[in-house]
Amino acid sequence: EAQVTQNPRYLITVTGKKLTVTCSQNMNHEYMSWYRQDPGLGLRQIYYSMNVEVTDKGDVPEGYKVSRKEKRNFPLILESPSPNQTSLYFCASSPADGGVYEQYFGPGTRLTVT
């Protein structure tokens, strides 16, 4: 089944404790992206990657890191989480063969930072 998976689905952590949210897709998509969803704000892009080893900032990159060492994986790293990073996080992927296609979203990771 074609899908984007994220782990963990739920996470409660404390300020300053480094964490990684994994994202993996099995559709051989070049493009991957991370969004955060906050009430009243819709979804905002954090980082994106056009292909392996190619990553760049989105609209709200502060406090986050990403890496793209393999095509299928695009982990989101919070080196020192803070309470304002409490949010619902989505990973997404799509083809990037010259067109613009719908992005397929993972199930979401609900993060709480206390």
- Please report whether residue 93 would count as binding another protein according to CB under 8 A: no
Min CB(36)–another protein separation in Å: 11
CA distance 112 to 71: 28
**Is 83 strand, coil or helix?**
helix
Among 20, 22, 52, 58, binds another protein (CB under 8 A): 58
Strands 109-113 and 10-13: parallel
Considering only the stretches 16-24, 27-35, 63-71, 74-82, report the one whose residues sit in contact with another protein under the rule CB under 8 A: 27-35
User: Least CB distance from residue 1 to another protein, whole Å?
Assistant: 14
Instruction: Give the helix ranges, DSSP H, for 10-85.
Output: none
